[in-house]
Structure 1
Amino acid sequence: MTVLRGCSRLALGAAVALGSIASAQAYDRVNGEGFASRSPVLATQGMAATSQPLATQVALDVLKQGGSAVDAAIAANAVQGLMEPTGNGIGGDLFAIVWSAKDKRLYGLNASGRSPKSLPFEYFANNGLDKIPSHGPLPVSVPGAVDGWFELHKKFGRLPMKNLLEPAIRYANDGFPVTQLVAYYWNRSVPVLSKYPGFRDTYMPDGRAPKEGEIFHNPRLAKTLHKIAEGGRDAFYKGDIAREIDAYMKANDGFLSYEDLASHKSEWVEPVSTNYRGVDVWELPPNGQGIAALQILNILEGYDLAALGRTSPEYVHLFAEAKKLAFEDRARYYADPAFNELPVKQLISKKYANERRKLINPERAAKRYDAGTVALRHGDTIYLTTADKEGNMVSLIQSNYRGMGSGMTPGELGFILQDRGEMFSLQEGHFNQYQPGKRPFHTIIPAFATKDGKPWLSFGVMGGATQPQMHAQIIINMVDFGLNVQEAGDAPRILHSGSSQPTDELMEDGGYLSLEDGFPMETRRKLVQMGHQIRFESGPYGGYQAIMRDGQGVYHGASESRKDGQAAGY
């Protein structure tokens, strides 16, 4: 039964009389865009937005106990590693951007791990491999998340780490109900990962993936988290956990070693930015792909997008072409800066964007672009954001890569090791060429935006190559199209796929466009006439969380309608 609100009896009667209840649904919302899943959540003392409601509640509990935004983020991330193994866990990497209210500045943390030092480049060719496998022992790199927690905590934490990990330990022992989307992806992972040692014992109770609403326990992970809570980061990288990972990898033809774990360290980095129509948008520099969002925004700043309209074919076309240009540079230049001098400043400059913009034909889709010439001197994730009463804000993203990761599930530890090493190129001379002890190209990127030097928006959108495209769209939706923080995430999305990945050759066929429901058929038809290939897909549009801080210090929280998540505050 359809219930109409905010509508007069006369209007309702007319709609029914015309046999058109659908036409009356424009009255269904008192205000806000019709596609919005809900209004923003407002609070002043603290806010958390995650893709798991129980993790959001844990974050709020920590804030109410006097914890900082970083404390809340760590506690929530630990819970999500348990409850969303389909997207993250302590076998993966972590990146974060933190706004310090005390210092009135942003800090960036790159907590990604490196490739095994004992795995030489020649190994792959010698074993008939022209690319790094997606699963199994070969793509496994050092998991950086735990060290990332302790680096964040050392600089910005207040409560003891034991307190922050206690909720995850308790849920791991007592169990939790598996949510809808996690159950779906868990079930999809089983046919691929169940052959790897340890996976079935930890993640397949009763010989299958748990279904939605079933209670899942992970006592192995509870013991591992307890060791970390008691022994600190060294318990993971230099203690029994590291030794168990080392023994497991040696027994299963892997290369990740105790030495690799013991020598690991995170890196504090300076976020980089561009100004888009008065808003400073911040990303972390490579080895991640965050600057692609800045490149897209720089190119699109040259057009009057507001006049074109959010669902117009002209806007969608320009967005797709700007993305193609940025991603060709992404394929060529984005890599570990410890191994290459990367032209980040040139790539995100307005001058460079002006040159690249000239290549766009406003009437026709390009089949391919070449990467730009700059002066050189030589698939699932979780995203969360938190904010505290002092004004500190955290933008944090964490992932195993390819959902549940490599499938390699060491002994009694209760987690899967990531397969991020798959992202290396085996092309000699490529910036992202595989080398021992090197960080692979990364897709996971947190984002932040400031106005006049003050925090405005902590946000992120999980989902592989989707992420920089959606970062740009969130900013455009708010700045050009005037959407609020929830509407900006709920709005139908544009996704261009098929162009260059860091391990692939340049795009030759123009790739393809996927448009979520909400774009008019006339727009799709016009895009086809302009030379775009259109695909109809469900699911690959990412997962958004955000916290906006207004001029009065009020937090506006938003959570992804495409995920299981929740934004909440107090």
Structure 2
Amino acid sequence: MFPRVLMFALIFVLISFTARSQDDRARPTRPPADSVIGWHASGKAGAVVAGGAESVEAGMTILQNGGNAIDAAVGTLLALSVTDAHLFCFGGEVPILIYDAGRGVVESIAGQGAAPRLATLEHFETKGGIPRSGIESAAVPATLDACLTALDRSGTMSFTQVVAPTLQILDRGEHPWHADFARTLRRLVDAESAAADRRQGLRLVADAFYRGPIAVELDAWSRAHNGLIRYNDLATHVTRVEEPVSLDYRGHRILKPGPWTQGPALLQALQILEGFDLSSHASGDADAIHLQAEALKLAFADRDEFYADPLFQPVPLSLLLAPEYADARRALIDPDRASIERIPGDPAAGLARLDPDRSTVRIGTDGPSLDTTTCIVADAVGNVVAATPSGWSGVLAGDTGVWLGSRLQSFNTWPNHPNVIEPGKRPRITLTPTLVLKDDAPVIAVSVAGGDAQDQSTLQMLTNLIDFELSPSDAVTAPRFNSEHLVGSFGQPAPQLGLLQVDPRVGDEVLAELEARGHRIERSRAPVGSNPTVLRIDPETGLLDVAGCPDSRRHSAAY
């Protein structure tokens, strides 16, 4: 009798646990007490560094509930669309790099929406150009599908589980649109509940937003307010999973998204710098700043000339990253004198300079845009995610609660230029996360906010960590510089040739030396240019060390 009583009791407990398990996992506990949120942290079980503190808490909660780094990164991104809503919106974009430890691969999730079918060059020429804000500058929303793609390929949790922390934030109702957005997210949760398994559930969430009732509502709202997005733009949206672009730098493999971002320009600059012995200098001395700034000038001149959506325009990336081309470009750097020319190269001919008559670059009138937020997550089993979410200056799509971004402004309206606006084409964006491998395992991740400054600060983070052997905390707080010697990505303002913004903490002697070499120095208060976040993994101990620039209100936690 007694064993049978025990058996029935055990069965009852198992049935009760099974019935509650889905609800329990969708109702997260708080992160562990030892994961205090600050600007830097370290631990071995998991780490998150991002923008708003509550977004970091969301990611840590998901890790604590048994999710992996991909689950936690998606939860962090969804929360960032609320906590950092002035920098990143749910209707915006997010390129994502994922190291999947189980498969031993790095994948680039191309979370950038295309121009709507109505977004033609002729349309914007009649408008006098692409507006910097408002309904007509919105690309097709890409964030949700990028997150679902990441979960599908490398995650373990459902959308319902990873969106739970965001709903908790929204339910406080701190802004009028929060209740509408929460209602839209719960409609997606309801769509997922009809699924037989996790992967089907993710597809049902995507269908509800891009091909179901929410897409119909976004179409109707856009039509009523003279927007360009239509149902067929949403229904045909695809998130591409791509091979990252990569090259070796001082024994490390640096990986970036493709030339639909500015990411490969970082690789070009590093390849040029490999010909100089940076480690013989100190971080922040005149020689180190000068060499890095001059390499960036050359790399960004090629970015402005050649980078675009490779689905629409062949980008000569293998030629741009050829060692012989880097040698030719490196020879243009004078160690004692700053360049005051914008000098694109001619990779097809292997020449250091492009014939000026062959350049299709023109100049606009608008200024810089410092948008975007950041997200890096790692877990104990080796998964790492670096993402750079963005979307700002857009519009609220009625009672859906979904904010749309303004990314079409990253196109230009120059006929025959690779990045000229075309329907269905992705704009060449500044968003550009970074992963670094050593011996085929991740050791560094970087995510930076700040428009054209993003890869400039990423370069400084990598040289600080690799060449100058700084800690993540020291890397993100070290004085930085930012060159304006480039065509701006937002409205295409003219390059300010030779202009170098520098944190005056480098010292008067360094500033005077840079001026003596011909740099036009602008003393700027920290943070200069951008808002970096960094993860470093000790390959021997597994320690996860994360830091975010405290002047930029970045937040970190680990346990």
Moved more, 560-569 or 356-365: 560-569
The question of whether the paired residues in 2 share the 8 Å contact of 1:383 and 1:460 is answered with yes
Q: 1:110 to 1:549 in 2, by over 3 A?
A: same
Moved more, 417-426 or 245-254: 245-254
Q: 1:508 to 1:224 in 2, by over 3 A?
A: closer
**Alignment correspondent of 1:52:** 52
Secondary structure at 1:399 match in 2: coil
**Alignment correspondent of 2:100:** 100
One-letter identity of the residue aligned with 1:349: A
Deviation at 1:40, TM superposition (A): 5.2
**Alignment correspondent of 1:389:** 380
Secondary structure at 1:268 match in 2: strand
For residues 96-123 of structure 1, give each alpha carbon's deviation from its aligned partner in whole angstroms, at most 9, with x where no partner exists: 1111111112111101100011232212
Percent identity reads: 30
Candidates 368, 380, 393, aligned match of 1:405: 393
Candidates 234, 249, 266, aligned match of 2:207: 234
The reply on whether 1:534 has 2:524 as its aligned counterpart is no
Q: 1:133 to 1:70 in 2, by over 3 A?
A: same
**Alignment correspondent of 1:164:** 162
The reply on whether 1:422 has 2:416 as its aligned counterpart is no
In structure 2, stretches of 5+ residues that fail to align are: 1-37, 192-204, 350-368
Deviation at 1:369, TM superposition (A): 2.9
Structure 2 Cα separation of the partners of residues 524 and 554 of structure 1: 37
Q: How does 1:247-326 map to 2 (within 5 A)?
A: 247-326=220-299
One-letter identity of the residue aligned with 2:81: G
Structure 1 Cα separation of the partners of residues 402 and 493 of structure 2: 36
Candidates 523, 530, 533, aligned match of 1:545: 533
One-letter identity of the residue aligned with 2:190: E
Structure 1 Cα separation of the partners of residues 426 and 341 of structure 2: 28
CA-atom RMSD, angstroms? 2.0
**Alignment correspondent of 2:316:** 343
Deviation at 1:137, TM superposition (A): 2.3
For residues 368-423 of structure 1, give each alpha carbon's deviation from its aligned partner in whole angstroms, at most 9, with x where no partner exists: 132110229xx3111111112211111111100xxx332x2111122321110011
Moved more, 539-548 or 390-399: 539-548
The reply on whether 1:569 has 2:558 as its aligned counterpart is yes
Q: Structure 2-normalised TM-score?
A: 0.84
In structure 1, stretches of 5+ residues that fail to align are: 1-37, 177-199, 203-217
Secondary structure at 1:478 match in 2: helix
Candidates 174, 185, 191, aligned match of 1:225: 185
Secondary structure at 1:558 match in 2: strand
Moved more, 540-549 or 132-141: 540-549
The question of whether the paired residues in 1 share the 8 Å contact of 2:132 and 2:491 is answered with no
Structure 2 Cα separation of the partners of residues 444 and 300 of structure 1: 22
Structure 1 Cα separation of the partners of residues 406 and 154 of structure 2: 30
Q: 1:397 to 1:508 in 2, by over 3 A?
A: closer
Q: How does 1:139-178 map to 2 (within 5 A)?
A: 139-175=137-173
**Alignment correspondent of 1:443:** 430
Q: 1:46 to 1:235 in 2, by over 3 A?
A: same
**Alignment correspondent of 1:559:** 548
The question of whether the paired residues in 1 share the 8 Å contact of 2:39 and 2:549 is answered with no
Structure 1 Cα separation of the partners of residues 490 and 88 of structure 2: 23
Structure 2 Cα separation of the partners of residues 481 and 39 of structure 1: 21
Deviation at 1:508, TM superposition (A): 6.4
Deviation at 1:544, TM superposition (A): 1.9
The question of whether the paired residues in 2 share the 8 Å contact of 1:170 and 1:222 is answered with no
**Alignment correspondent of 1:332:** 305
Deviation at 1:353, TM superposition (A): 1.2
| Paired positions, count | 488
One-letter identity of the residue aligned with 1:47: A
Deviation at 1:340, TM superposition (A): 0.9
**Alignment correspondent of 2:114:** 114
One-letter identity of the residue aligned with 2:459: A
Structure 2 Cα separation of the partners of residues 103 and 60 of structure 1: 24
Q: Structure 1-normalised TM-score?
A: 0.82
Q: 1:39 to 1:115 in 2, by over 3 A?
A: closer
Deviation at 1:498, TM superposition (A): 4.3
Structure 2 Cα separation of the partners of residues 92 and 504 of structure 1: 18
Q: 1:107 to 1:508 in 2, by over 3 A?
A: closer
Structure 1 Cα separation of the partners of residues 488 and 299 of structure 2: 11
Q: 1:453 to 1:517 in 2, by over 3 A?
A: same
Structure 2 Cα separation of the partners of residues 101 and 258 of structure 1: 37
